[in-house]
A = this chain, B = another copy of it.
Amino acid sequence: MAVKWIYDFSSNDADSIAQGNAFPHLLLGHKGANLAELTSLGLPVPNGFTISTLACNAFYENEKSLNDALRNEILASLKNLEAQTGRNFNSIDKPLFISVRSGAATAMTGLVGSVLNLGMNDKTVEAFANETGDKRFALDSYRRFIQMYGAIILDVDHSDFEDVLDAIKSNKDYTSDTQLNAADWQQVIEKYKALIVEETDEAFPQDTMTQLLGAIEAIYLSWNSVRAKMYRTINNTNETYGAAISVQTMVFGNKDNASAVGTAFTRHPLSGENKLHGEFLENSQGDDASAGIRTSHAISVKGLDEARAKTSYETQMPQAFAQLKNAAIVLEKHFKDLQKIEFVVEAGSFWILQTSSAKRSTSAALKIAVDMVEEGKISKEEAVASIDASSLVELLHPTIAKGVERDILTTGLAASPGAATGKVVFSSRDAEALKAAGEHVILVRTETSPEDIHGMKVAQGVLTQRGGMTSHAAVIARGMGIPCVSGANEMRINLENEELRVAGRTIKKGEVITLDGSLGQVLVGGVEMDHRKLSGAFGVLMSWADDIRRMEVRSNAEMPKDAQLAYSFGAQGIGLCRTEHMFFEGERIVAVREMILATDEEGRRKALAKLLPMQRKDFVELFDIMAGRPVNIRLLDPPLHEFLPNNEVDMDRVATAMGISLAQLKRRAEDLKEVNPMLGLRGCRLAISYPEIAEMQARAIFEAASEVANNSGNLGDIEIMVPLISLRAEYEYVHNIITKIADEVMAETGTVVKYKMGTMIELPRAALRAAELALSADFFSFGTNDLTQTTFGISRDDAPQFLQKYQMKNIIERDPFSQIDEKGVGDLMKIAMERGRQAKPELKFGACGEHAGDPKSIEFFESIGMDYISCSPYRVPIARLAAAQATLKFAK
């Protein structure tokens, strides 16, 4: 069977294309597929046909020339079009004019764009003038064609055409194109032709078939233009499908004053309001409106003042408006979504050129989805599925107002979303001091360490020179819900002079900058902000999502502020309370350091005794805030060196508290230093090396639980989690400590506290040995950050320097710390779940890494049957929605 190169969307082909083909866009490009779909819906679309993407491949296979079969099919399709329209291509008897548009399977840049009015030449334009009785219109259309064809197909500089036109206008003292009469346009045409001869050494083609084939070849060649290839590389769309071309009968928006070109949205794309929105420009063609020569007018009268209502499309062209309104209803019903409609009115007749799902603000998306459910157009499930979960972040954090001019100082990684303005400080001490003086501050550091927690807590945002998406700064900032730009590599900080330098500019301490954590930008000065609005639709949609969702959504939180936020964002409990974060508060860091630096158990116990009441108070507060919802507490986890003092002042304080010399303390601190702290003395290794730490933590937990149970009576499930397990014996050892202390405390208080114990699965060995770990654990919590680190053998802190190069070289698609690596890390998780579940069917599985707030990762977690996910408070709504969407996806 011969290949079919061309599909006629005006005939029966339309239905078969729209309905019979699962992926019509691969064959016809998204434009061609859309035209077929619109025709199939019975909407008014100018007749035409689409040359499939396969023909583009054939062009390249045929040494960059059109093969005979294709040429013949083009001829036949034109004949067909002539028959459909009763007009004739390359004829002075009712001449046929066409538009030629490129398209591809996915929207892309770099392809040659649209050519309108093709088929015009010296003779057909005269015939057209006679036919329409409007010589000026005909000549204007012709000069537009020459200009477009010259610039786009023949590659003559666009501005050269503008210069010709400007010269004539200035010569005649015209200020607007509308002032040019037929004779003027004739003059323009002659000068355009001369320009083309000059630039291309060839005359503008008068043969219409030459025009058409020339346009087609130019489009095909543009498929491999540098710009197009660059686009495909950057967007990783290694398409094997080429460019499609749609050829369509021209309709003229510039025919007369009953003609127009317009763009309409079926609902307002920013507010979501249910009214036709957009603009139109009468007697115009193509991009005239956006060229700004004349002012365009509104579509619908709704909400307009009298003057603007009068010029609106609804008022000016009521019949065509009615057709648009009808089309909007048909389109929304069909596509179940907000549509953008590009249309032309030719002498009162309404034509659609193209429609597409329209971009919209997140709040509009929510409102539209909820409205459409109430209108019965879509189901609740469809509404929930329609929202981009990640986009909710816009609502949760303040953002820089749209359209504001940005003086970009430098860029880094978009490490924590939202925007913030403040005065630059280079230390936590300065941050606190300035904050105390009522200022907003942005903390700027080479990289942050736990030392900087104080500074981060009072800062509006954080900027670091080093560190990736999961660096200390990034993780903590996301947890706190403050914006962060990390890894701004080009910046250099000079602490002596208290200034930062980048791109030849210097910002001193106290100068104002703005961070856009959603884009990774650092701006000079302050800018206008949009503040978050959680509209009614947000709540409605989230409640539907909660009804649909299978996985439980919890939050990672330990500080009261975070726990409250998590609660208010609908977290069903705490999935990860990182007890170490509680250790940096106020005076307790000194006691923590005492504990770490003690050389014997006695010294450690002395320091732990100071920490016990503080830790107990923390837990009481946490349990109270969560008011009956479960709280999962992880025992002390981080490498101890994170707590080590790293300056003389802090060292001195600790030495004094411990009653030892500064020199002794320094030696001890030196001894504790590790080559690879991420793989060193941390996690359960701490509890095993120094059981007294785990004992103190267990005592604090159970004493707090008793207190809350006895006071409010509203105590949720207590879960205790042992980190960094690789051996069952490790887990058993810590399990025994906890059980012993639990029994002791319950005997002392007389209050029975129910609790569960489980293990983090964050090392490959734990995943592999899941069957034996399952035997004595109630739950597994996947620490996907650490699991990613060890599975890949990549340190989060050190990764940015080479992962960036990896992405540039297409070796890795995305940062595995942002989106779970399904094939590697995910495979290990599946192994752990299979083995764990086989050993103990009732075992509960959770994920509490950064990935638990990422929609794609959440989809994966759903696919493997995770029971719960736990993310930072600000990502809880995103996780709730993404989890619901994942449920819907796999329910199919």
- List the interface of chain A (C-beta within 8 A of B): 674-681, 685, 688-689, 724, 726-727, 729-730, 733, 762-765, 768-769, 786, 789-795, 797-799, 801-802, 805-806, 809-812, 821, 823-825, 827-828
CB distance from A254 to the nearest CB of B (A): 52
Q: Are B828's CB and A768's CB within 8 A?
A: yes
The 8 Å CB contact of A824, one of B769, B812, B821, is: B769
The 8 Å CB contact of A678, one of B679, B688, B799, B806, is: B679
Q: A677-B676, A727-B811, A730-B811 are in contact. Are A792 and B805 (CB under 8 A)?
A: no
**B contact residues around A828 at 8 Å (CB):** 764, 768
Q: A685-B802, A798-B681, A805-B688 are in contact. Are A765 and B792 (CB under 8 A)?
A: yes
The 8 Å CB contact of A805, one of B689, B786, B793, is: B689
**B contact residues around A809 at 8 Å (CB):** 688, 733
Q: Are A793's CB and B681's CB within 8 A?
A: no
Q: A763-B791, A764-B791, A791-B790 are in contact. Are A769 and B677 (CB under 8 A)?
A: no
In the complex, the 5 A-B pairs of residues with the closest C-beta atoms, listed nearest first: A679-B795, A680-B798, A676-B795, A765-B824, A763-B793
Chain B residue at minimum C-beta to C-beta distance from A686: B802
Q: Are A801's CB and B769's CB within 8 A?
A: no
**B contact residues around A764 at 8 Å (CB):** 764, 790-791, 793, 824, 828
The 8 Å CB contact of A806, one of B677, B679, B688, B806, is: B688
What is the CA–CA distance of A839 and B339 in the complex, to the nearest angstrom? 48
What is the CA–CA distance of A769 and B792 in the complex, to the nearest angstrom? 11
**B contact residues around A730 at 8 Å (CB):** 806, 811
What is the CA–CA distance of A805 and B729 in the complex, to the nearest angstrom? 13
Q: Are A681's CB and B802's CB within 8 A?
A: yes
CB distance from A783 to the nearest CB of B (A): 10
CB distance from A721 to the nearest CB of B (A): 16
CB distance from A589 to the nearest CB of B (A): 21
Q: A769-B823, A786-B793, A789-B679 are in contact. Are A798 and B674 (CB under 8 A)?
A: yes
The 8 Å CB contact of A793, one of B679, B825, B827, is: B679
The 8 Å CB contact of A676, one of B726, B798, B806, is: B798
* CB<8 Å pairs between A and B, sample of 17: A675-B677, A675-B798, A676-B676, A676-B677, A676-B678, A676-B679, A680-B799, A689-B802, A726-B824, A730-B806, A730-B811, A764-B793, A764-B828, A765-B824, A768-B791, A768-B824, A786-B793
CB distance from A513 to the nearest CB of B (A): 23
Q: Are B688's CB and A811's CB within 8 A?
A: yes
Q: A675-B677, A678-B793 are in contact. List 6 more A-B contacts (CB 8 A).
A: A674-B797, A676-B677, A688-B805, A726-B793, A726-B824, A764-B828
CB distance from A726 to the nearest CB of B (A): 5
Q: A688-B806, A811-B733 are in contact. Are A724 and B793 (CB under 8 A)?
A: yes
Q: Are B677's CB and A798's CB within 8 A?
A: yes
Q: Are A791's CB and B811's CB within 8 A?
A: no
**B contact residues around A810 at 8 Å (CB):** 729
**B contact residues around A724 at 8 Å (CB):** 793
**B contact residues around A821 at 8 Å (CB):** 765
The 8 Å CB contact of A790, one of B677, B727, B793, is: B793
CB distance from A761 to the nearest CB of B (A): 11
Q: A678-B675, A806-B688 are in contact. Are A729 and B811 (CB under 8 A)?
A: yes
What is the CA–CA distance of A500 and B268 in the complex, to the nearest angstrom? 80
What is the CA–CA distance of A513 and B794 in the complex, to the nearest angstrom? 41
**B contact residues around A675 at 8 Å (CB):** 677-678, 795, 797-798
CB distance from A585 to the nearest CB of B (A): 24
**B contact residues around A811 at 8 Å (CB):** 688, 727, 729-730, 733
What is the CA–CA distance of A729 and B685 in the complex, to the nearest angstrom? 35
**B contact residues around A795 at 8 Å (CB):** 674-676, 678-680
CB distance from A341 to the nearest CB of B (A): 42
CB distance from A58 to the nearest CB of B (A): 30
What is the CA–CA distance of A194 and B172 in the complex, to the nearest angstrom? 145
**B contact residues around A805 at 8 Å (CB):** 688-689
